[in-house]
């Protein structure tokens, strides 16, 4: 287990460094300068010296390799630089918006798994019946309908039936738990539904596979009741591939958050990313991409650990 942790930690650091390097150079290759964009777009005009002074202030006048070293050096000190557009430290910008997005992601993940496990199990156990067909059709639609469209459908449905959509950022979980959950529920449902679709389908096929295994027959031969065979003997094995996919699909969940926040008008880091891109705010884009990578890598790190806990064969003894 220790070896596994050490190995994964090294991979963790390496992956983040690689992402930092890639995003830095990719943004440098693209045309457009954040300072010029801020001061010269929409017909603005600023003196060349002033522009130069602004560039110097944010460090965009330095040679690319120096900028790179500053960027990576800053990362090691948790310093992501300063946003050109808002002129605030990027860590501040993220901190003020991270909470809502994090809450949304957790609720979405929770909804996703809460839907996926019963749907997948029900689908596998009723294989070939109308229920199985229904679940499979709905999970295919979950996978194929884009999040933003789904989000708009949900808003339309809410407006036309209740005339109400939950407003965001009013309730706190500690004070008004029901309102808090209500405001997060619909955006989280949109994001989580997609995750559940992938996992329900995967769980269905892996459970069917596991139910044909010899050790399931052994459990039946021991006289274990059918429901216990499924929950105790089969599900633990069937969930293994699902756990891996949760890690991979988390990237999709983050992507879903970016657009869903936009549609539901939630001022989270997803929306911040879209703003950063539209303002060509390089440092902010870099910082947010790093944040998303950090989350993604952390989740997959956690998935590896969970996998090892679920599957004794992976543990190193």
Partner 1 sequence: MSPSDSSPHPLLKVRDLSVSFASETGDVRAVRGLSYEVRPSEILAIVGESGSGKSVSSLAVMGLLPGNAKINARELVFKGQDLLSITPAAMRALRGREIGMIFQDPVTALNPVLTIGEQITEPLKLHMGMSESQARARAQELLTLVGISDAPSRLDQYPHQFSGGMRQRVMIAIGLSCNPRLLIADEPTTALDVTIQAQILELMQDLCRRLGVALVIITHNLGVVARYADRVLVMYGGRMLECGTTATVLQQPRHLYTAGLLSSVPSLDSPLVGRLAAIEGSPPDPRRWPEGCAFAPRCPHAQSACRGETPVQTTDVGSVSACVRAPEMAAGTLSWTPLHSGRHTVAAPARRAADKGSLVELRDLEKTFSVRRGLWSKTAEVKAVGGVHLSIARGETIGVVGESGCGKSTLGRLLLRLEEPSAGTILFRGQDITHLRDHQLRDFRRQAQVVFQDPFSSLNPRQRISDIISEPMRVHGLVKSRAEAREQTLQLLNLVGLREDHADRFAHQLSGGQRQRIAIARALAMRPDFIVCDEAVSALDVSIQAQVVNLLSDLQQQLHLSYFFIGHDLAVVRQIATRVVVMYLGRIVEVAERDAFYRQPLHPYAQALMSAIPSVSDAAGTRRTLIPIRGEPPSPMAPPSGCAFRTRCPHAMPECAQQVPALREVAPGQQVACLKFA
> What number of H helices and E strands is found in the chain?
13, 0
Question: Does 227 participate in binding partner 1 (rule CB under 8 A)?
Answer: no
| Segment interacting with partner 1, rule: CB under 8 A, options 112-120, 171-179, 213-221, 261-269 | 213-221
Question: Does 233 participate in binding partner 1 (rule CB under 8 A)?
Answer: yes
Q: Which residues touch 62 (CB under 8 Å, ≥6 apart)?
A: 70
Q: Which residues touch 44 (CB under 8 Å, ≥6 apart)?
A: none
Question: Does 316 participate in binding partner 1 (rule CB under 8 A)?
Answer: yes
Q: Which residues touch 205 (CB under 8 Å, ≥6 apart)?
A: 124
Binding mask 254-293 for partner 1 (x = CB under 8 A): ----------------------------------------
Give the residue carrying structure tokens 């996926």: 116
Q: Which is nearer to partner 1, 245 or 283 (CB)?
A: 245
Question: Does 53 participate in binding partner 1 (rule CB under 8 A)?
Answer: no
Give the 3-state secondary structure of 71-129. HHHHHHCCCCCECCCCCCEHHHHHHHHHHHHHHHHHHHHHHHHHHHHHHHHHHHHCCCC
* Interacting residue with partner 1 among 225, 231, 248, 277 (CB under 8 A): 225
Q: Which is nearer to partner 1, 43 or 312 (CB)?
A: 312
Task: Name residues contacting partner 1, limited to 1-40 (CB under 8 A).
Answer: 3, 6-7
Q: Please, what is the minimum distance in Å from the beta carbon of residue 91 to partner 1?
A: 33
Task: Check: CB of residue 166 under 8 Å from CB of residue 187.
Answer: no
Q: Which is nearer to partner 1, 182 or 310 (CB)?
A: 310
Question: Does 221 participate in binding partner 1 (rule CB under 8 A)?
Answer: yes
Binding mask 65-104 for partner 1 (x = CB under 8 A): ----------------------------------------
* Interacting residue with partner 1 among 63, 175, 178, 317 (CB under 8 A): 317
Q: Please, what is the minimum distance in Å from the beta carbon of residue 218 to partner 1?
A: 5
Of the candidates 237, 252, 255, which has an alpha carbon nearest to the alpha carbon of residue 310?
Answer: 237
Q: CA 316 → CA 1, 169, 293, 304, 312, distances in Å?
A: 5, 45, 28, 13, 9
Binding site for partner 1 (CB under 8 A): 3, 6-7, 213-215, 217-225, 232-233, 236-237, 310-313, 316-317
């Amino acid at each position: 287990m220790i070896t596994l942790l050490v190995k994964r930690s090294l991979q963790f650091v390496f992956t983040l460094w690689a992402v930092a390097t890639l995003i830095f150079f990719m943004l440098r290759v693209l045309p457009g300068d954040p300072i010029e964009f801020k001061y010269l777009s929409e017909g603005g005009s600023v003196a060349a010296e002033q522009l130069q002074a602004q560039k110097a202030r944010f460090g965009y006048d330095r040679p690319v390799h120096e900028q790179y070293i500053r960027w990576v050096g800053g990362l090691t000190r948790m310093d992501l630089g300063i946003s050109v557009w808002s002129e605030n430290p990027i860590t501040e910008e993220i901190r003020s918006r991270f909470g809502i997005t994090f809450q949304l992601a957790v609720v979405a993940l929770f909804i996703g798994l809460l839907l996926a496990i019963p749907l997948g199990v029900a689908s596998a156990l009723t294989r070939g019946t109308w229920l199985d067909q229904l679940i499979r059709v709905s999970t295919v639609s979950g996978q194929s309908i884009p999040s933003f469209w789904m989000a708009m459908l949900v808003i339309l449905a809410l407006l036309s039936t209740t005339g109400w959509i939950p407003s965001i950022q009013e309730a706190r979980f500690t004070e008004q738990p029901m309102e808090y959950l209500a405001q997060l529920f619909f955006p989280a449902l949109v994001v989580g539904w997609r995750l559940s679709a992938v996992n329900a389908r995967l769980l269905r096929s892996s459970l069917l596979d596991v139910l044909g295994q010899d050790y399931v027959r052994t459990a039946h031969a021991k006289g274990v009741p059918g429901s216990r065979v499924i929950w105790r003997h089969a599900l633990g094995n069937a969930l293994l591939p699902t756990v891996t996919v949760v890690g991979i699909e988390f990237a999709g969940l983050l992507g879903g958050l970016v657009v869903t926040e936009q549609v539901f008008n939630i001022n989270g880091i997803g929306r911040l990313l879209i703003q950063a891109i539209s303002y060509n705010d390089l440092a902010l884009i870099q910082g947010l991409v790093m944040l998303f990578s950090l989350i993604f890598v952390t989740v997959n790190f956690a998935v590896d650990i969970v996998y090892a806990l679920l599957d004794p064969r992976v543990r190193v003894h």
